[in-house]
């Protein structure tokens, strides 16, 4: 291990050591407050190191690749974990189960996500994925022997094992064909293959896509996601919606970033169908949901369908601009916008639930938001902004993401998928507006009072999220130029 490698992997080293230290401390003396502080501190230091590295470091080995894009996205993932870790304390303090283990799992899941995000090799990809998934399983079931949570945990365990099995099979066939597990080389080889006489290879790719679709809960493989979001404790659901999905999406973006897949017409067709189905099914399932967690789960299906649209727009020979960078930028910008907005939304839900409600089954209904605007105007305005950002209304970061997406898709001339995007967006607008409307309604007389648990950290998180959502929405110029610089 030389110095350059050590420096490139410093954020990982910090997070892993934090996880180890937390574990050792837990073994010696359980002190919740102390451990909570330590986890957040570890993530904070890792975030600072990662941010400093963003445009300073380029490191590539057989297993990992750490370039500008990876560093930027890793920084955002660590940021997401940090925000969520700040909100964990009041909930964990209230449960009877041991509390400290949650932090260990939380840090390990973050670490797994970072490895997946930087993986340049199917080996490191799979290891990172399993580290993340297996840490998330107990986190899903982490609640006082609650039947619903256990059910969700088992569901996640079984389904993620099936997805992993599909992926392993795919990786094995790919290795059998190409003799390498390095992602870049596999993609290069794929470009030279003609699609007609490689049934087995195509099967491998399809298996890989099935696995990825399960993990990302894309359309035909989405059935588990709502039960899981509803059954898991809120912070775990937040991690599932952000970290676990984003990390895999980043690998997918990397796989497709050269655009050489467009030789494989049938694979592109399959992904197009998945994208269209996700956009439409996700939004329409969310349409009349009463439980916000289920609604967000279905909505996240649609959002990843949108990002697939950007990935499909990466074509080697574009009719309009002859460059693949725009679609890549679009995918990354949209992912960033999604992460910031969704982590903000979950933070507010966590802040608004009292400790008992954090326990699954999470019955956070839309009805609970009724009249929030007149009791907690600041929180409610932030939540409104976040919902508007998720629908892509201007002056929020979500709009810039959607603008990138439309531009990239028009550039790639994906007209049918754009039609699905419009239909999906209108449906999406309906349910987000419904929630905004309910917040503005009159409050019921007998409604219980709303309190913000954990006010200091809570308001800090809200402030940061608002600043990001509005700031990147009104002045996206710097970040846009920065991402362009990273990619080209």
Partner 1 sequence: MVLANLIIILLVGGIVAWLCEQISEHLPKWIAALSLIFSLFPLRSILFDILFDQGSNTHTPWIIDEISPWIPRFNINFHLALDGLSLLLVLLTLSMGLIAVMTAWKEIKQRTGFFYFNLLWSLAGVIGVFLALDLFLFFVFWEVMLVPIYLLIAIWGYENKRYAAMKFFLFTQAGGLLMLLSISALVLIHYQQTGILTFDYLGLLNHQLPEQAAYWVMLGFFIAFAIKLPIVPFHNWLPDAHTQAPTAVSVILAAVLLKTGGYGLIRFVLPLFPEASLEIAPYVMAIAGFSIIYGALMAYAQQDLKRLVAYSSVSHMGFVLLGCYAMTSQAWHGAVIQMLAHGVSTSALFALVGAIQYRYHTRDLNKLGGLWQTIPKLSAVGLFFVVASLGMPGLGNFVGEFLVLVGSFSTYPKFTILAASGLILAAIYSLAIAQKTFFGPLKLGQAIDLDRREMVMMMSMAILLIWMGLHPQPLIDLAQQTLNQFPQSLSSPSQLPLGVHQ
Among 433, 450, 452, 470, binds partner 1 (CB under 8 A): 433
Q: Which stretch binds partner 1 (CB under 8 A): 31-39, 85-93, 145-153, 421-429?
A: 421-429
- Whether 91 contacts 234, CB under 8 Å: yes
Among 178, 187, 194, 183, smallest CA distance to 263 is for 194
Among 288, 437, 447, 467, binds partner 1 (CB under 8 A): 437
What is the distance, to the nearest Å, from the Cα of residue 61 to the centroid of all Cα atoms in its chain?
25
Q: Which is nearer to partner 1, 225 or 280 (CB)?
A: 280
Is 395 near partner 1 (CB under 8 A)?
Answer: yes
Longest distance between any two alpha carbons in the chain, whole Å = 70
Is 175 near partner 1 (CB under 8 A)?
Answer: no
CA 269, CA 393: separation in Å to the nearest integer?
A: 30
Q: Is 372 exposed, middle or buried (0-12, 13-18, 19+ CB in 10 A)?
A: buried
Q: CB neighbours of 302 closer than 8 A, spacing ≥ 6?
A: 278, 279, 280, 281, 282, 283, 286, 424, 428
- Whether 87 contacts 344, CB under 8 Å: no
CA 388, CA 386: separation in Å to the nearest integer?
A: 5
Is 451 near partner 1 (CB under 8 A)?
Answer: no
HSE at residue 487, side-chain half, CA atoms within 13 A, is 23
Is 426 near partner 1 (CB under 8 A)?
Answer: yes
Among 136, 61, 55, 80, smallest CA distance to 339 is for 80
Q: Which stretch binds partner 1 (CB under 8 A): 130-138, 173-181, 192-200, 475-483?
A: 475-483
Is 448 near partner 1 (CB under 8 A)?
Answer: no
Question: Going residue by residue from 366 to 385, which x/- string records binding to partner 1, judged by CB under 8 A?
Answer: --------x-----------
Is 410 near partner 1 (CB under 8 A)?
Answer: yes
- Whether 173 contacts 201, CB under 8 Å: yes
Q: Which is nearer to partner 1, 138 or 371 (CB)?
A: 371
Is 6 near partner 1 (CB under 8 A)?
Answer: no
Q: Which is nearer to partner 1, 216 or 383 (CB)?
A: 383
Q: Which stretch binds partner 1 (CB under 8 A): 22-30, 76-84, 203-211, 391-399?
A: 391-399
Q: Which is nearer to partner 1, 158 or 475 (CB)?
A: 475
Is 287 near partner 1 (CB under 8 A)?
Answer: no
Positive or negative CA dihedral for 44, 45, 46, 52? Answer: positive
What is the distance, to the nearest Å, from the Cα of residue 442 to the centroid of all Cα atoms in its chain?
34
- Whether 373 contacts 439, CB under 8 Å: yes
In the three-class reduction of DSSP (H, G, I as helix; E, B as strand; rest coil), residue 119 is classed as: strand
Among 61, 355, 481, 488, binds partner 1 (CB under 8 A): 481
Q: Which is nearer to partner 1, 158 or 426 (CB)?
A: 426
Is 429 near partner 1 (CB under 8 A)?
Answer: yes
CA 110, CA 309: separation in Å to the nearest integer?
A: 27
Q: Which stretch binds partner 1 (CB under 8 A): 97-105, 115-123, 132-140, 476-484?
A: 476-484
Among 5, 223, 422, 447, binds partner 1 (CB under 8 A): 422
Is 440 near partner 1 (CB under 8 A)?
Answer: yes
Prior bond to 361 cis, omega within 30? yes
Among 320, 443, 455, 463, binds partner 1 (CB under 8 A): 320
Supply the minimum distance, in Å, between the C-beta of residue 302 and partner 1. Answer: 14
Q: Strand ranges (DSSP E) for 268-361?
A: none
Q: Is 218 exposed, middle or buried (0-12, 13-18, 19+ CB in 10 A)?
A: buried
Among 15, 66, 209, 388, binds partner 1 (CB under 8 A): 388
- Whether 116 contacts 248, CB under 8 Å: yes
Supply the minimum distance, in Å, between the C-beta of residue 463 and partner 1. Answer: 18
- In the beta sheet, which residues pair with residue 119? 64
Supply the minimum distance, in Å, between the C-beta of residue 425 and partner 1. Answer: 6
CA 216, CA 35: separation in Å to the nearest integer?
A: 31
Is 120 near partner 1 (CB under 8 A)?
Answer: no
Is 470 near partner 1 (CB under 8 A)?
Answer: no
Is 407 near partner 1 (CB under 8 A)?
Answer: yes
Q: Which is nearer to partner 1, 45 or 480 (CB)?
A: 480
CA 39, CA 43: separation in Å to the nearest integer?
A: 6
Q: Which is nearer to partner 1, 402 or 454 (CB)?
A: 402
Q: Which stretch binds partner 1 (CB under 8 A): 225-233, 273-281, 432-440, 448-456?
A: 432-440
Which positions touch partner 1 (CB under 8 A)?
319-321, 374, 388, 393-395, 399, 403, 406-407, 410-411, 418, 421-422, 425-426, 429-430, 433-434, 437, 440, 476-477, 480-481, 484
């Amino acid at each position: 291990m030389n110095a350059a490698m050590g420096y490139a992997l410093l954020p990982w080293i910090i997070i892993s050591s934090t996880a180890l230290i937390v574990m050792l401390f837990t073994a010696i003396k359980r002190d919740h407050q102390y451990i909570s502080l330590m986890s957040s501190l570890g993530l904070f230091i890792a975030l600072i190191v990662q941010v400093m590295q963003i445009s300073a470091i380029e490191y590539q080995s057989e297993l990992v690749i750490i370039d500008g894009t990876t560093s930027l996205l890793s920084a955002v993932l660590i940021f997401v974990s940090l925000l969520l870790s700040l909100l964990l304390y009041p909930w964990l303090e209230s449960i009877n189960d041991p509390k400290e283990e949650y932090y260990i799992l939380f840090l390990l899941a973050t670490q797994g996500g970072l490895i997946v995000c930087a993986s340049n090799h199917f080996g490191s990809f799979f290891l990172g994925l399993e580290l993340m998934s297996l840490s998330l399983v107990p986190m899903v079931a982490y609640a006082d022997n609650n039947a619903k949570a256990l059910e969700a945990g088992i569901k996640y365990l079984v389904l993620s094992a099936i997805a992993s099995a599909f992926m392993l099979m795919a990786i094995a066939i790919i290795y059998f064909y190409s003799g390498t597990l390095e992602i870049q080389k596999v993609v290069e080889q794929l470009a030279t293959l003609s699609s007609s006489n490689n049934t087995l290879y195509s099967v491998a790719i399809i298996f890989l896509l099935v696995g990825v679709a399960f993990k990302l809960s894309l359309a035909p493989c989405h059935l588990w996601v709502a039960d899981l979001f509803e059954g898991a404790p809120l912070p775990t659901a937040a991690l599932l919606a952000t970290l676990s999905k984003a990390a895999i999406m980043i690998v997918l973006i990397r796989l497709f970033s050269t655009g050489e897949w467009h030789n494989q017409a049938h694979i592109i067709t399959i992904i197009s169908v998945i994208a269209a189905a996700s956009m439409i099914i996700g939004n329409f399932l969310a349409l009349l949901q009463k439980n916000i967690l289920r609604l967000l789960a279905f909505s996240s299906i649609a959002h990843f369908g949108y990002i697939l649209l950007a990935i499909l727009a990466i074509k080697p020979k574009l009719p309009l601009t002859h460059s693949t960078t725009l679609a890549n930028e679009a995918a990354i910008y949209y992912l960033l916008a999604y992460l910031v907005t969704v982590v903000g939304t979950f933070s507010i839900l966590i802040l608004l639930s009292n400790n008992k409600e954090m326990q699954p089954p999470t019955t956070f209904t839309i009805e609970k938001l009724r009249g929030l605007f007149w009791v907690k105007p600041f929180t409610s305005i932030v939540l409104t902004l976040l919902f508007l950002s998720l629908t892509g209304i201007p002056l929020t970061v979500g709009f810039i993401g959607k603008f990138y997406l439309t531009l990239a898709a028009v550039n790639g001339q994906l007209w049918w998928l754009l039609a699905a995007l419009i239909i999906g967006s209108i449906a999406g607008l309906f349910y987000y507006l419904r929630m905004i409307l309910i917040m503005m309604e009159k409050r019921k007389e007998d409604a219980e009072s709303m309190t913000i648990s954990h006010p200091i950290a809570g308001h800090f998180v809200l402030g940061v999220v608002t600043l990001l959502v509005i700031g990147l929405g009104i002045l996206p110029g710097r970040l846009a130029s920065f991402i362009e610089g990273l990619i080209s």
